[in-house]
Amino acid sequence: MRRLYNITILLSVFAIGFIACNKDKENKMTPNTENEVYWSEEDVKIQNAILDFQDKIKNNSFKDGEMMSVEDALWNLEALINYNYSTPDSGFLNLTIDTTFEANVMINNGMVSYNNLVDIAFGMEEYVVNFTNQLPSDIGFMIAADVTLKENSLKDGTSIVAVTAAYGSEKRPNTPCYSPFEDYDYWRWGGAWSENGGYCDGPYVGDSDNLDAAEKIQFKINNPECLQQDIPGSYVVQTTSIFIEADYFPNPDDDVQNDNSYDCLMYYQSTANGPVNTCLSPDKMDWYVQGTAKVVQDRSLYIKSLYPDEIWKFLSIDIEGDYLLDGGATIYLHNAYLFYGKLAIYVPPVD
């Protein structure tokens, strides 16, 4: 069943166009006394824009030949799928990143037809629903989605709309933030190859279970055990991702730099700096969890500095082990994609 056809639009507020600027939230907040949740004039505008687009899509109420700019089309497609399906306040055990969905879009003088957008919107929604239903858990959901042009170009002709979506499965309650690893948790640094993962010491040495240090640290960061202060009734309206490598973030408290001992906040070792041991002990696993959490916090502050009048939330991290060849040296490290979402507050229908 297509959810777009099941949404009843009850909200009667100001007719608006595309969101163009930030507003002063302090002086424009409206209380919802029943749930003690506050929304701003900007939240109302965002939701109205989404519902207006949804109404046109579901009822084919657009004019014959009506067009929309490429930038607005991407914003509306991303906002719509996140409005209906994003769950930024849910804990999860498993993270799945999917980049499979693609759809053709015809661009003419920087504009896209509504007829084309209808096909993309329903195709995207059908894909998200089917993918969620196929997750290996009775509980599966989309965390957030990012909609872009695959070629990152606004040229005329046929281009491709691509969706990168993060999915969670097996919800867990938000329950110190990162419990320590067990005494047997010796893990190889990781990578896309089986010989680079698995237990590397201790009683389970040789076992892999298709896991590695990168994935074990990722799990901890995505599932903090402390209470998360989320905003009730919020949803993701826009997403962004940041790619990082361990050497972007040197350890500011390292007594001896470049000695392969905690040189960076995330795992990083180079044969140019001496002997390398890619087997991470439980103590090192714990240290790199805390270091990676500091990186997440650092990038969260960076996102906040870019959008000081908006609410952005860290959604998830996807860590991979990798190695690089640098001259005659080999570098072993962790890199990651950090996903953040801009939040808007759901505005209840006006009676």
Query: CA-to-CA distance for 225 and 54, rounded, in angstroms?
Result: 37
* Band of pLDDT at residue 147, cut at 50, 70 and 90: very high
pLDDT of amino acid 5: 32
Cβ–Cβ < 8 Å for 125, 119: no
Q: Which residues share a beta bridge with 69?
A: 111
pLDDT tens digits, 245-298: 999 999 998 888 899 999 999 999 999 999 999 999 999 999 999 999 999 989
pLDDT of amino acid 11: 28
pLDDT tens digits, 171-210: 654 446 788 899 999 999 986 555 678 899 999 988 877 7
Query: CA-to-CA distance for 91 and 143, rounded, in angstroms?
Result: 10
| Residue 42 pLDDT > 90 | no
What are the residues whose beta carbons fall under 8 Å from the beta carbon of 255, sequence distance 6 or more? none
Query: CA-to-CA distance for 52 and 19, rounded, in angstroms?
Result: 12
| Residue 127 pLDDT > 80 | yes
pLDDT of amino acid 37: 53
Residue 35: CA count within 13 A, CB half-sphere: 13
Residue with tokens 């959901």: 141
Q: Which residues share a beta bridge with 264?
A: 250
What are the residues whose beta carbons fall under 8 Å from the beta carbon of 65, sequence distance 6 or more? 113
- The phi, psi pair for 40, rounded to 5°, reads -105, 170
* Band of pLDDT at residue 29, cut at 50, 70 and 90: very low
pLDDT of amino acid 135: 85
Query: CA-to-CA distance for 343 and 313, rounded, in angstroms?
Result: 7
Query: CA-to-CA distance for 138 and 81, rounded, in angstroms?
Result: 22
Average pLDDT value for the chain? 81
Residue with tokens 């080999």: 330
Lowest mean pLDDT among 66-70, 103-107, 151-155, 329-333: 151-155
pLDDT of amino acid 303: 93
* Band of pLDDT at residue 105, cut at 50, 70 and 90: very high
* Band of pLDDT at residue 156, cut at 50, 70 and 90: confident
- The phi, psi pair for 337, rounded to 5°, reads -105, 130
Distinct helix (H) and strand (E) counts, the chain: 5, 14
| Residue 6 pLDDT > 60 | no
pLDDT of amino acid 91: 64
pLDDT tens digits, 80-103: 999 988 887 666 767 888 999 999
| Residue 32 pLDDT > 60 | no
Closest CA to 93 of 179, 185, 222: 222
* Band of pLDDT at residue 314, cut at 50, 70 and 90: very high
| Residue 7 pLDDT > 60 | no
pLDDT tens digits, 12-25: 222 222 232 233 33
Query: CA-to-CA distance for 145 and 236, rounded, in angstroms?
Result: 9
Alpha helices by DSSP H, listed for the chain, are 41-59, 70-85, 114-133, 213-222, 282-306
Lowest mean pLDDT among 89-93, 146-150, 310-314: 89-93
- State mean pLDDT over 117-133: 93
Lowest mean pLDDT among 21-25, 203-207, 220-224, 233-237: 21-25
- State mean pLDDT over 144-164: 83
With b for 16 or more beta-carbon neighbours within 10 A and e for fewer, the 244-264 pattern comes to: bbbebbebeeeeeeeebebbb
pLDDT of amino acid 176: 62
The pLDDT > 70 percentage for the chain reads 80
Query: CA-to-CA distance for 288 and 211, rounded, in angstroms?
Result: 16
Closest CA to 56 of 131, 127, 121: 121
